[in-house]
Amino acid sequence: MKKINIIAVVILLLSLFSVNAQEPEILFQEGVNAYSEQNYPLAMRKFEAVLDNGFVSGELYFNMGNAAYKQRDYARAILYYEKARLLLPADDDLEANLTLANSHTVDKIETLPKLFYEKWWDSLIISMSADQWAFLNLILLALALVLFIVYRFSTSVFLKKTGFYSSLIALFFFLFTIFISAQSHKRITAHDHAIVFVPSVTAKSSPFSDSIDIFVIHEGLKVKIDNREGDWVRIRLANGNVGWAKSETLEII
């Protein structure tokens, strides 16, 4: 009798887990359906419910950005597109939607040009997602181990040399991709960029309300945060301008 009860409890727990696991997927699909029916507020509520369940993905943020854009909430659309961008690097559709949303903002900031190696490095990091880099790490590690085994146990001099040097090359690329994977993960978790979420912000020369006004920026602009002081943050624009703003005026990406 006790065994039957235990089995019943296990089955119940598994069924509850299955229901909970499917619920975010169901909510997401309901959000997609609502979006297709042009019920954008309902679609956003469904997508937010998915987030409330602790599930995050680039596709989810992408759809939330679309729902916000359709409601002409361009700052929120940019926020979600930028969040999606971290998880879906080099997605052409996402980049196109983000560009369209940015076209509705007031500020048109010219980006400082990067050196060729900085562009190359940035392109390399976003060429794959963090998960894809991690998968490549495992493949290279396995390859290095196989080649080392060939070197260690082969009786052929040629195979020994080939296995030894090839394992060193594979190990080098493994360490290199580990570093890139770490940079890719840092890019996602740094949370050092934000979107202006109020109509306008007057940046100050220091983290005090009575300090000198430096420049004014407007809703929807993306800024970089490079320092914090109480409820103030130091922001850096794409053109290099730096100033202080209240953190409550921004939404972290």
pLDDT at residue 19, rounded to an integer: 44
Instruction: Clarify whether residues 86 and 15 are in a common domain.
Output: yes
Backbone torsions φ then ψ of 218, nearest 5 degrees: -130, 170
How does residue 126 score in pLDDT terms, banded at 50, 70 and 90?
Answer: confident
How does residue 136 score in pLDDT terms, banded at 50, 70 and 90?
Answer: very high
Instruction: Clarify whether residues 129 and 175 are in a common domain.
Output: yes
**C-alpha pair distances (Å), 4 with each of 8, 10, 18, 34, 48:** 6, 10, 21, 44, 40
Instruction: Clarify whether residues 206 and 179 are in a common domain.
Output: no
Burial of 7 (0-12, 13-18, 19+ CB in 10 A): exposed
Backbone torsions φ then ψ of 56, nearest 5 degrees: -130, 140
Q: pLDDT at residue 14 above 80?
A: no
Instruction: Clarify whether residues 95 and 25 are in a common domain.
Output: yes
Instruction: Clarify whether residues 70 and 122 are in a common domain.
Output: no
Q: Domains in the chain: how many in total?
A: 3
Q: Could you tell me what percent of the chain has a pLDDT over 90? A: 71
Domain CATH code at residue 97: 1.25.40.10
Residues in contact with 174: Cβ distance below 8 Å, sequence separation at least 6, in sequence order: 137, 140, 141, 144
Instruction: Clarify whether residues 128 and 164 are in a common domain.
Output: yes
Domain housing 164: 116-189
The model carries a pTM of: 0.80
